[in-house]
Chain A
Amino acid sequence: MQANRHRLRLSNLPNSIFVFLFVFALASFGVPKFFSPGNLSTLLLQASILMILSTGMALVLMSGGIDLSMGGNLSMCGVVIALCLRDGMHVLWAIGAGVLCGALFGLLNGIFVSKMKVPAFIATFGSMGIAQSFANTLSEKRTIHWEAGPQNRLLNFLGGDVLRIEFGNQASMVLSVSFLVLLTVCVLICVIFLFKKTVLGAYIYAIGENEETARLCGIDTTKWKIFVYMLSGALASVAALLVLIRTNSMQPTSGDGLEFQAVVAAVLGGNSLKGGRGNLYGALFGALTLYVVRSSLTLAGIDTSVTMIVIGAVLVVGMILNELAVRHEKNLRLRTGRG
């Protein structure tokens, strides 16, 4: 038995890996120019933002809640950082202000949900509007630019490449991995580490599956739920930082609809809206899958308005597959179990 413990078994991998590989292979063979260094570089950078968001979303979903305010929160945090930069503040202070802003907003969500017992869907739906309005008001609905200076040199550095390999002369033949991707990887490793190595993961599963049980086990469920929302708020602000560096400016509408994409990615990754199941890797692969679909649609010259149809379809099909997997598992257990 001991030997079996860490053995990698195909059936133990999250289903989302297979979905991702399948979609990726399909796109590579089916869509010309998809499998080019340049496109893959862009894809990775774009997906990074969603990967961060969907990780936060997965945490909340596993605990039995949902955080619809992530998109709005992203816009708000981005605007806060951008305004700080415009006023000539040092970049570290600006980032600190943004992350603090995101975490505080998450704290509010957490208090609404776990202390005031407002259903998560409603509470975060409401705060989504609030955050979005803050973003609009603070920015006066204009894109915010700032002057480059010594105090924000870090931004240029982060916007640069950590790795650059030229396969040819054209832009599409250049593989470039941005520092942002590295940053994303670091953040994700931190979150996964926190999830696996501290009590956080166990408590999130326990709370998501049955909050009463968790409470009877002596877990302070209120505190932990608040913490989960804070974490998702903080992750939204990190995503905001990425958006801001990538575009070198900040639009107050950057976060529009991202919360839905995060839900789609998390659900594609096997996270249930009912809580208590799912995993973080799933959410990451869900996000990657989503961007592979988007990227190939764009490359194939399909209109952006159609993209949402496809993404919607991907979500529904993903849900159906998930349901089938759960049913299959249940059947297996019925057969091997008693009765």
Chain B
Amino acid sequence: MEDAARSLLEFRHISKSFPGVKALEDVSIDLRAGEVHAIVGENGAGKSTLMKILSGAYQADEGQLMLEGTPVQKNNPKMSEQLGIAMIYQELNVTSELSVANNVFLGHEPQRGIFINKKEMERRTAELLDSIGVNVPPYTLMKNLSIAQQQMIEIAKALSKNAKIIVFDEPTSSLTETEVKELFRIISDLKKKNVGMFYISHRLDEIFEIGDRVTIMRDGKKISTSLIADITMEKIVEGIAGRRIENIYPRTPCAKGDVFFEIKNLSGDRFEDVSLNVRSGEIVGIAGLVGSGRSEVVKAAFGVDPCRSGEVFVKGEKAPGNNPQKLSRMGIAFLPEDRKREGLALALSIRENSVISALRRLNPLGVVRRRQEHVTVRKYVQDLEISTPTIEKLTKFLSGGTQQKVVIAKWLITQAHTFIFDEPTRGIDIGSKSSIYGLMDELVAQGAAIIMISSELPEVLGMSDRVYVMAQGRIAGELDRKDATQQSVIQLAFSQKGE
């Protein structure tokens, strides 16, 4: 605080309540020009609420927002834009049918009379894109760009409004490694231009890569702000969780039983001749680079995607292809990567989501028995430690980790015995992650079988009894828990065909 004169923006003792929750309590954070200020915390720690106060979507109940030393009165989206504050959200705000230039200048087009000055607009867009080193013609339609490129366009949009402050909310969650590098290069460029940036991310290693300072938040309160140089990963994790996490991968060895699920010589569009199996009491990891065909194999085996040849067996019984309904009735649960779109009906409550696949079984007469549903769902909510005031809470208001638990509850109620997880902890904060792992461990201890696809190597190594590594659509190798190391898996993942 000693050089408050230099701070670009300051939150002073901000508090904000929603009915029933204290979202922010006396939070004070400052942002300096030309720095990347990382904000970390579990989902629901208050990061987003704080940023929404900055963007003017919410008003603070108490406290003061100071911009370059002057207090900001009654903020709203339009005003915060004029003040030079720009947001880059996790879900991209793009209009896909419009050109890049149109998107960059949406809402503040250069005009000549009532007409858009298209030439001017495209020229300035080209300039902006050039300044951040993005090589996309300004007239390209947004829908023809990759997600990473769209994100760069969002940054250009922020710059077009002469933003002095940019907020990045989970910017890398859908980017590949190289794209992340590109983003970081742009962020360092922005630093040199004296733009102040808030950077919200669950990926802690990124924060060490580009952050200058980090603020840890928990339960609506600020825990600490420190220089990145002065803090360690362990300290951050501790601060986020509010407790020491001794072992995030709790694995208790248990007896292996029969083969529950087996894929034999499955070939499809993007994978060839894949065979794998999983036994009762076992967690099998599938590792490999993005694009190696991991998800495709499992989707095809579950019958969601078509396959050319090959067979799938459930407890020794041959399963029909292209029939996910049949497979789920045979006891296979598929938990897709995109929980929000494929795993849950967000507009429905926890209870409704949990029983949605088991309505037949719970209500054999075809009449919904609400009481029976309540009893069942409450039991699972308790067992899975789903933290919610009521089972009638809509799932769209839950955090990522809790949503994942509801999906698990849904499949438990259908009495599934084999669980296929596709990226089980993507976008989930570290505290919830470890409780998901605990849950997986419990499932196998009770005799279930689990297949886990994951891009996070530590997770695969920490949880799996066996690891299949895929490369270029084929199984490049199978490793036992004791042989599976970072190096051995990566080696296989990068191996070429026929090697």
B-binding residues in A (CB < 8 A): 1-2, 5, 197-199, 202-203, 205-206, 209-210, 212-219, 276-277, 337-339
Contacts and interface: CB of A to CB of B under 8 A. Distances in A.
B111 interface: yes
30 contacts: A1-B137, A197-B115, A197-B116, A198-B116, A199-B109, A199-B116, A202-B109, A202-B116, A206-B95, A206-B98, A209-B95, A209-B97, A210-B93, A210-B95, A213-B94, A213-B95, A214-B106, A214-B107, A216-B55, A216-B93, A218-B78, A218-B107, A219-B107, A276-B95, A276-B96, A277-B96, A337-B146, A337-B147, A338-B147, A339-B291
Contacts of B391: none
B139 interface: yes
Interface string B84-102: 0001000001111110001
B176 interface: yes
B137 A2 contact: yes
A15 B137 CA distance: 25
Interface residues of B, number: 29
Given A2-B137, A199-B116, A277-B97, A338 B108 contact: no
Contacts of B102: 202
B290 interface: yes
A276 B97 contact: yes
Contacts of B96: 209, 276-277
Q: B interface, by DSSP: helix, strand, loop or mixed?
A: loop
Interface in B265-300: 290-291, 295
B115 A198 contact: yes
B116 A217 contact: no
Contacts of B146: 337-338
A339 B116 contact: no
A1 B78 CA distance: 36
A202 B98 contact: yes
Contacts of A209: 95-97
Contact of B111 (A199, A215, A216): A199
A203 B115 CA distance: 13
Contacts of B116: 197-199, 202
B98 A205 contact: yes
Given A219-B106, A338-B147, A338-B176, A202 B95 contact: yes
B81 interface: yes
Interface in B18-60: 55
**Residue of A205, A216, A277 with highest tally of chain B CB at under 10 A:** A216
A213 B111 CA distance: 21
A214 B98 CA distance: 13
Given A276-B96, A338-B176, A338-B290, 13 more contacts: A198-B114, A198-B115, A202-B95, A206-B95, A213-B93, A213-B95, A214-B107, A215-B77, A216-B93, A217-B106, A217-B108, A218-B77, A218-B81
